[in-house]
Amino acid sequence: MATPPPRGCSSISHDYYLLCDMEKAWGIVLESLATAGILITIFLICSLFFLTCKVQDNSKRHMIAIYFFFLSGTLGIFGLTFAFIIKLNDRTRPTRFFLFGVIFALCFSCLLTHACNLNKLVRGRKPFSWHVLLLLIVSFAMVQVVISIEYLVTMLVNQKDKFLNMSLQETNKDFVMLLIYVLFLMALTFLVSMFTFCGPYKSWKRHGAHIFVTVLFSIAIWVVWITMLTKGNMVLNRHDWDDPVVAIALVSNGWIFLIMYIVPEICFLTAPLKLADYPPENDFCQPKFIKQTTGVDNRAYTQDEIVQGDTEDLSYSPYSSHFQMKTVEPQKDFSIPRPKARTSPYQDYTGGKGPM
Question: Is residue 278 pLDDT above 60, yes or no?
Answer: no
Per-residue pLDDT, averaged over 283-305, amounts to: 46
Instruction: Please name which of 213, 175, 178 lies closest in space to residue 194, comparing C-alpha atoms.
Output: 213
Main-chain phi, psi angles of 296, to 5 degrees: -95, 135
Residue 201 C-alpha from the chain's centroid: 15
pLDDT at position 103, please?
A: 96
Question: Is residue 305 pLDDT above 80, yes or no?
Answer: no
Measured distance CA(225)–CA(267) in Å, rounded: 31
pLDDT at position 308, please?
A: 47
- At 269, which amino acid appears? L
Domains belonging to the chain, first-starting first, are: 14-270 (1.20.1070.10)
Per-residue pLDDT, averaged over 6-17, amounts to: 77
Measured distance CA(352)–CA(342) in Å, rounded: 24
State what percent of residues in the chain have pLDDT above 70.
Answer: 75
At 141-173, the pLDDT tens digits run 999 999 999 998 888 877 777 777 788 888 889
Who wins on pLDDT, 273 or 228? 228
- At 67, which amino acid appears? Y
Instruction: Please name which of 198, 2, 181 lies closest in space to residue 105, comparing C-alpha atoms.
Output: 181
Question: Is residue 289 pLDDT above 50, yes or no?
Answer: no
Least confident of 92-101, 161-170, 260-269, 310-319: 310-319
At 67-111, the pLDDT tens digits run 999 999 999 999 999 999 998 888 888 899 999 999 999 999 999
Measured distance CA(148)–CA(142) in Å, rounded: 10
Using DSSP, state whether 327 is helix, strand or coil. coil
Q: Is 247 left (phi over 0), alpha (psi -120 to 50) or beta?
A: alpha
Decide if 58 contacts 44 (C-beta within 8 A). Answer: no
Instruction: Please name which of 173, 153, 179, 285 lies closest in space to residue 230, comparing C-alpha atoms.
Output: 173
Instruction: Please name which of 64, 60, 145, 50 lies closest in space to residue 110, comparing C-alpha atoms.
Output: 64
Q: Is the dihedral of CA 279, 130, 253, 29 positive or negative?
A: positive
Contacts of residue 238, Cβ cutoff 8 Å, sequence gap at least 6: none
Find the DSSP H helices in 237-307.
242-256, 263-267
Measured distance CA(309)–CA(176) in Å, rounded: 81
To the nearest whole number, what is the mean pLDDT of the chain?
80
Decide if 162 contacts 155 (C-beta within 8 A). Answer: yes
pTM: 0.75
Who wins on pLDDT, 76 or 352? 76
pLDDT at position 99, please?
A: 94
Decide if 70 contacts 269 (C-beta within 8 A). Answer: no
